[in-house]
Chains A and B, each alone.
Chain A
C-alpha cells in the first residue's frame, strides 16, 4: 500500500524532473535569452528568497491571500450552487425556465466578468471574490442538478414503499445518491475559482495575492519571480486536490464504491 503510493508519486515526479532538467540545460548553455527564460535553480532560489522576504510581502502571504479568496468564493459558490442545483434537479418547471439562462452564461470565462464588477463595485476583494464565486457557481449548479436528475428511480421506490415521506427521501436518498456528481461539480468549481481568483487579482487586487505578485513582478521585468509564482499556483492546487479532496473522496464515495 505504502510502496504503491510512493511509486505513484515517483512516476508523477519523473517527467516533471526531466522537464526541469531540460529547462536548466537550456538556461546554463545560454541557448535562449535567460532574462526571458530564467533557470529552475534561479526560480527555486527566488522562491526561498520570497519566503524569507522582510522588506515586502512574502510569497506565503501572497499565497495565503489567494487561498483565502478562493476558499470564500468556493464556499459561497457551493452554498448557492448546491441549493439551486437541488431545486433545479427536483422541480422540472423551474429547471426548464432557468436552464436556458444557465446554459447561456456557463461558457463565459470567469475573467470576462471582471471589467463589469470593477465598474460596479471597484477594485479589491469584493470584485475578486464575486468573480471567483461566479465562475465556480456554474459547474456546481450544473452537476448538482444533473446528479439529482440521474438518481435511479428504483432506489426512490425502495424507500417510498417503506413509508418514507418526500422530505426523508430527499434528505436520506436523493442527496447522498447525488454525491458523486456533486463532488465532480465541487472539484470543477475549485479549479475554476482558483484560476479566476488569480486572474482577477492581476486586474483588481490592491494588496496582494499570487496573481498580484506575478503581475507586479512583470513591471520590473522580474521573470524569475513570475516563474516562481506560476510554479506555486500549480503546486498549491495539486496539493489541495491530492490531499484534502482525495481524502474526502476516500472517506465517502470511494469507500462506498460509488466511484472507482
Chain B
C-alpha cells in the first residue's frame, strides 16, 4: 500500500488556442500510492480531464514529468485503463465483444478473450446482456460495460473522468457503491475525477482539491473513513459530513474565483 505508484513533478500544460496560449495546468506536484483511491475535484474547466489525459498518455506535458512505476509516461499503454464520462463504447460490438476487445489486442484468441470477459460480465452484473448492442442499454448499464472494458485486461491503474457524471442521481449512488465493491476485489490504483464533493468524499482515500485554471494542488484531504462504505451508513457518519464540509470550504474559494473570472456578468 505504501509503494509510490505515480509521481507528478512540476507538471505544466498549455494549449495554443485562438486567443493565444491557455495555461491549463501550472507547476502541479502530486504523488499517488499504489492501490490508493485518489479523487480529484476542482472547478469546471480547471484542467482535470487534461491531467487525466496526460496520465493516460493521450496528451503530452508542456513541461515537467509524470512517472508511473518510476518510468516517464511516454504514451498510452495497457498498464492503465480509462473510463470516460460518455462511455465511448464501440457501437458495432456487442457487450461481450466490447469487453473482450482489449484482451484480443493483448494477443488472446477470440475464444479465450470472450471466456475471460465473462468474468468481468459477472463482476459488473451484466449477465443476460452479453449479446446486446450498447445503444440498447441504459446509461448505468453502459458505464458498467465501460468499467468492465477498462478492467478486462487487468491494468494496474484505473483512470476515471467523471464516469458517473451523466447518470441520474439514483443510478449514480448505486454505481459508486458498485465501484467500491469492485475496487475492494480487484486492487487498483484509481484516479477518479468528479466535481461532486459528495461523491469524492464517499469514494476516496484522499481528495485532491485543484485550484482554478491554471491548475495546481490547493489542498489534500485524507479520508479516514471505515471501509467497506455504503450510503446507508457512511452518509450519516458525522466524520463523513465533517470531511465534506472541509473539502467544500477549500473548494469554495476556487469556485468563486472561477465564477468571477469566467462567468462575470
Contacts and interface: CB of A to CB of B under 8 A. Distances in A.
A168 to B, nearest CB: 6
B135 A176 contact: no
Interface of A: 152, 154-155, 157-164, 168, 172-173, 176-177, 179, 252-253, 255-258
Contacts of A168: 105
B135 A256 contact: yes
Contacts of A172: 101
Interface residues of B, number: 27
Contact of A155 (B90, B106, B133): B90
B135 A257 contact: yes
Interface SS, B side = loop
Contacts of A258: 91-92, 135
Contacts of B86: 154
Given A152-B88, A257-B133, A258-B92, A157 B56 contact: yes
B105 A257 contact: no
B57 interface: yes
A176 B77 CA distance: 23
A256 B58 contact: no
A258 B133 CA distance: 11
A176 B76 contact: no
Interface in B25-58: 53, 56-58
Given A158-B84, A255-B133, A163 B105 contact: yes
A255 to B, nearest CB: 7
Max chain A C-beta neighbours (<10 A), residue from B84, B88, B134, B135? B88
Given A157-B76, A173-B90, A256-B91, 8 more contacts: A154-B84, A157-B58, A158-B88, A161-B57, A161-B58, A168-B105, A253-B92, A256-B133
B153 interface: yes
Interface core residue of B86, B90, B106 (most chain A CB under 10 Å): B90
B91 A157 contact: no
A157 to B, nearest CB: 5
Those 4 A-B pairs whose CB atoms lie nearest each other, nearest first? A257-B135, A162-B102, A163-B78, A161-B76
Contacts of A152: 88
A256 B58 CA distance: 27
B153 A162 contact: yes
Nearest to A169: B105
Contacts of A161: 56-58, 76-78, 80-82
Contacts of A157: 53, 56, 58, 76, 82
